[in-house]
Structure 1
């Protein structure tokens, strides 16, 4: 998936990147994640950008979402918690990736002393244990290293949203000190592309071929080709990958 490659390039780093080793104590952040699961029944994911590793702390919310995590924490060799991510509605998953990159770039652009004031707050759709999409509150916090100024940890929290009457997903960057919205989701291409064209463009961005997209959407390859051509004409780009990349860049 092109956007995941972009995120990996931005977020991941090795000890040798700056010549300075980050001495932040991971156990402190593990305890923080564990506390959220105990006090809020959240599913907490702590990702270590220096070692490309994640720790997933489960709760009763995990069971409601159909996540059967035997270990506490479950440890995976990636910053991407695939078992959780695959439960997110495909449209919301793409927006989540874009929003995370926007958040990272935003924090890079401000005074490092101000970074702890900001976090991500989103409403996303996730499949529960019964195979039904319901709204989940997603919060994300980034922790930069004072030793090498690199992003070291990301903490993601998932819990069932109390208001299931909302009609759409929402992605925000908030200032938790001031209680203000700093950036609201701008990912709305619907005034440019049709819903089907958006689906095709999303799968192009995830690296699927026209044949694979046809199977996923239960349409013919010719129809996929026609949609791809319409996308090129509407966005005035040379190819579908450029269409995805340029549309993606426009909103971060």
Structure 2
């Protein structure tokens, strides 16, 4: 129970990596604020966590709306009195060539993957800085869930690559800004994970994904949740700036 007495806010908590991370951090003793658009799912998750002795609070939010993002942080702090960990996990991915791209989909990726992350981080920052100097850990954490697409480019992923390369650059600059105050910033870059992230794509793209990734065991959301927990439970003097987690067989 390394996180007893702390509060974690997780975006994209309604499914996949976000849901698994919320469960994992709650098992480590953190009170978890669950942020996502799908109220029914985060209500169900909050109930499931509390049924086994954890502490959770569902906050329906569209993080691409700055006022909603700011309100979500404020609600979490009002409910629990502090904020020690922010996990910026919410993500959106539409694949396809640049020539055939739907510009509205580009806008949506930028809004979720970058603007929402910026809004949440800015709103959470003063609360995290306060927590970094307080009991029980005297350190606080921001974990930004990026992607292997934030370090390597692929055909049909140009706009998604752009959003995730941006997350990586932002995370490293912010890490340097905040390091002296024991507010750690790390980026976690998963390879292929078995989640709903692909589901918004066309049938042709889904067929390509199955062709490329269907022949080996993908990561489970719990594998990434375990990585997040590892990052935020290091000793105060240790910061994980970048963690890259891949399926063993992914090239």
TM-score (norm 2): 0.27
- Higher RCO (CA 8 Å, separation ≥ 6 residues): 2
Higher strand share: 1
Higher helix share: 2
